[in-house]
């Protein structure tokens, strides 16, 4: 896990602190494929957002339980007047649908995998 230029680092350290420990970071990688490879080789654990597809490494996604569960907020930005364009509109609608599915999954207790 990279300590700098990484929006995940504060989430991971907060989740670890809530669980009562401080992680000992000895590997720093940013690409999810590399993170997954390190975990597959037994060199650590990581938090992977549900939106990230797992590579074909022998790893298992385990949903977090308890509070606080790390969360991210996704925002969209489009050029003024372009939201009505069919392709932009379709992209925004797909993002809304995916966000609603994830939100509904959290409410029902689904793990989102």
Digit-coded pLDDT (tens) for 60-104: 888 877 776 777 777 899 999 999 999 999 999 999 998 888 777
pLDDT for 107 equals 58
How far from 88 is each of 34, 57, 76, 85, CA to CA, in Å? Answer: 32, 34, 11, 5
Q: Does the pLDDT of residue 55 top 90, yes or no? A: no
Round to whole Å and give the CA distance between 48 and 12.
10
Nearest residue to 47 via CA among 99, 100, 4, 8: 8
Q: Does the pLDDT of residue 109 top 60, yes or no? A: no
């Amino acid at each position: 896990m990279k300590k700098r230029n990484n929006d995940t680092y504060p989430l991971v350290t907060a989740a670890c602190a809530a669980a009562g420990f401080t992680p000992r970071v000895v590997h720093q990688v940013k690409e999810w494929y590399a993170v997954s490879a390190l975990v597959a080789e037994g060199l650590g654990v990581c938090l992977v957002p549900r939106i990230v597809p797992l590579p074909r490494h022998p790893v298992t996604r385990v949903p977090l339980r308890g509070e606080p569960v790390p969360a991210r907020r996704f925002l969209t930005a489009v050029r003024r007047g372009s939201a009505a364009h069919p392709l932009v509109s379709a992209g925004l609608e797909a993002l809304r649908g995916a966000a609603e599915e994830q939100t509904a999954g959290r409410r029902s207790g689904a793990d989102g995998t």
